[in-house]
């Protein structure tokens, strides 16, 4: 069937107050291709800030073909995001990116080379003061330009919208079917615990810890979030060494000790701390700082199909001092214009409304926590804080009408499927194990081998077939199931021969993976 752009759904703005008005939820749909139609699967691609409507338009067809063709697949834009109204307009002139440009929130935290030097802590505290001032100014603009409208955005309201949408499309007694990745997994955790008796087929992929998200201030999240990122980085270096300099020029020789490669990269980052490199040809132009370079490496770890490009960009920057490739890595300068409304504070509107009230931390407390993470868990802690901008909620100007805070251990009407990667640098497998344990037999965790953020970051037909079987008849694998990846890292070539049927499935899965790696 052709793409179906549904008319926006009018839902209560405030489910606790019917007089507050309405929100308009933007949706898109791929109708089922097989009969009988089993109902609707609602899909969220992550964020907070990802447009489900746009995701289904862009790659809904291969997603449906790979997972379940006898369901309608519906993508929706959560409150404040994409085309859903009200939209977040803290910067009505679209000036959000300009406001953050060349600040610590844009170029990242610059970490001095010597972590144990007392001056390192002082330098990071100064940068945190700057970040706090930026957050305070941003949220003052939110209060000025949006007022109390901001309070109606948050995951609890999104889950009530899911309930409303399912009832409208499939009937009041219909079970809720849902597929959520990354932040979408967090929506899923809220969903199954707010409506445990309405759960049909639910898949969560790339798990965010809902207990941390809802009960701890954001600056305390990154110790958990980054626990697999160092291992992912080591794998990147190891694969580079194994494949050799013809494909990964960061290596001087095939089989080179990865510590040598790592040290060359670190020396480059240390040099950048004192001598940022001007990059006039980048889009947009700017300077490559140590913080920005570390962010590029960290984001690259999430997208293994781009590892060859990451290695080439780093090599070019290190050897030739040409930093354009690294500055532009993973960026489409026209994406905002092509894909929807301009960037604003959509993410903050979700995470700050979800965050339980907390005593405002000092800049020193934020730095001490994450400097300890850098020393003992992962060098990428401050990179996460800059790219996943959830801190600063002590300045958020509104309180939501409702905030779900658990419990997270409900017995569900039907069991759910959890996908989690062993080397996911942002949503570690420990979070998948936590959810699986909390749900006490109402879920099964499938561990996918290898790196990347969410199971589609590197194709795994085994993972996909488990999801197929689950949506087909509700059958889940036995506990402890592990799935290999089918692509060789750096070359992105198949690691085994496939049957004709699996070749056709791989074409669909590979298309989805290209979107997840920001290649399409």
Q: How confident is the model at residue 336 (pLDDT cuts 50, 70, 90)?
A: very low
Rounded to whole angstroms, the Cα distance separating 424 from 368 reads 25
Cα 461 from chain centre? 22
What pLDDT is stored for residue 340 in this prediction? 66
CA distances for 346 relative to 129, 375, 491, angstroms: 23, 32, 36
Domains detected in the chain: 3-86+152-216+405-516 (3.40.50.1820)
Mean pLDDT value across residues 171-197: 98
Half-sphere exposure (Cβ direction) of 142: Cα atoms closer than 13 Å: 27
Pair 508, 515: CB distance under 8 Å: no
Q: How confident is the model at residue 338 (pLDDT cuts 50, 70, 90)?
A: very low
3-state secondary structure labels for all residues of 256-323: CCHHHHHHHHHHHHHHHHHCCEEECCCCCCEEECHHHHHHHHHHHHCCHHHHHHHHHHHHHHHHHCCC
Query: Does the predicted TM-score (pTM) go above 0.95?
Result: yes
| Local structure of 507: helix, strand or coil | helix
- Checking if the pLDDT of 365 tops 60, the result is yes
Q: What percent of the chain has pLDDT over 70?
A: 98
Summarised one tens digit per residue, pLDDT across range 133-181 is 999 999 999 999 999 999 999 999 999 999 999 999 999 999 999 999 9
**Tally of CB atoms within 10 A around 173:** 7
Residues 6+ apart with CB under 8 A from 347: 47, 48, 49, 389, 390
What are residue 483's DSSP bridge partners? 448
| Local structure of 162: helix, strand or coil | helix
No. of H helices and E strands in the chain?
20, 15
Summarised one tens digit per residue, pLDDT across range 2-21 is 677 789 999 999 999 999 99
What pLDDT is stored for residue 337 in this prediction? 39
State the burial class of residue 166 (Cβ atoms within 10 Å of its Cβ: 0-12, 13-18, 19+).
buried
List, in sequence order, every beta strand (DSSP E) within 37-184: 40-44, 72-76, 176-181
For 288, the token pair is 């490559």
């Amino acid at each position: 069937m052709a793409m179906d752009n549904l008319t926006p759904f009018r839902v209560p703005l405030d489910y606790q107050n019917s007089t507050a008005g309405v929100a308009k939820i933007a949706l898109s749909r791929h109708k089922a291709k097989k009969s009988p139609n089993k109902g609707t699967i609602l899909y969220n691609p992550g964020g907070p800030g990802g447009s489900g409507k746009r995701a289904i338009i862009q790659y809904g067809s291969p997603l449906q073909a790979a997972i379940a063709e006898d369901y309608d697949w519906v993508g929706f834009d959560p409150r404040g995001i994409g085309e859903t109204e009200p939209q977040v307009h803290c910067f009505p002139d679209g000036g959000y990116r300009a406001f953050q440009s060349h600040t610590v929130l844009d170029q990242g935290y610059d970490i001095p080379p010597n972590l144990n030097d007392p001056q390192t802590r002082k330098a990071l505290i100064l940068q945190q003061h700057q970040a706090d001032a930026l957050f305070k100014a941003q949220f003052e603009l939110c209060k000025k330009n949006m007022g109390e409208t901001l309070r109606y955005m948050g995951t609890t309201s999104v889950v009530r919208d899911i309930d409303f949408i399912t009832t409208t499309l499939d009937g009041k007694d219909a079970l809720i079917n849902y597929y959520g990745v990354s932040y979408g997994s967090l929506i899923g955790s809220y969903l199954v615990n707010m409506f445990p008796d309405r759960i049909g087929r639910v898949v969560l992929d790339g798990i965010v810890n809902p207990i941390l998200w809802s009960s701890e201030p954001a600056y305390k999240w990154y110790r958990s979030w980054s626990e697999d990122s160092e291992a992912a980085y080591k794998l990147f270096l190891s694969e580079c060494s194994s494949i050799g300099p013809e494909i990964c020029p960061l290596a001087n020789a095939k089989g080179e000790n990865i510590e040598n490669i790592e040290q060359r990269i670190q020396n480059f980052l240390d040099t950048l701390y004192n001598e940022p490199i001007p990059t006039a040809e980048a889009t947009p132009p700017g300077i490559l700082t140590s913080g920005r370079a570390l962010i590029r490496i960290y984001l690259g770890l999430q997208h293994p199909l781009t590892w060859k490009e990451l290695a080439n960009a780093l090599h070019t920057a290190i050897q030739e001092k040409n930093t354009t490739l690294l500055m532009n890595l993973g960026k489409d300068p026209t994406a905002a214009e092509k894909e929807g409304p301009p960037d604003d504070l959509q993410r903050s509107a979700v995470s700050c409304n979800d965050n339980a009230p907390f005593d405002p931390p000092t800049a020193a407390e934020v730095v001490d926590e994450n400097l300890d993470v850098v020393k003992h868990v992962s060098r990428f802690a401050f990179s996460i804080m800059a790219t996943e901008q959830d801190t600063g909620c002590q300045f958020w100007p509104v309180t939501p009408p409702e905030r779900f805070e658990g419990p997270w251990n409900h017995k569900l009407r039907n069991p759910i499927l959890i996908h989690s990667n062993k080397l996911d640098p942002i949503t570690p497998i420990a979070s998948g194990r936590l959810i699986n344990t909390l749900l006490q037999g109402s879920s099964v965790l499938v561990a996918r081998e290898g790196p990347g953020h969410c199971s589609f970051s590197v194709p795994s037909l085994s993972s996909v077939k488990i999801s197929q079987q689950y949506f087909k008849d509700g059958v889940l694998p036995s506990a402890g199931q592990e799935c290999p990846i089918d692509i060789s890292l750096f070359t992105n070539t198949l690691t085994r021969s496939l049957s004709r049927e699996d070749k056709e499935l791989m074409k669909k899965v590979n298309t989805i993976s290209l979107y997840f790696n920001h290649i399409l």
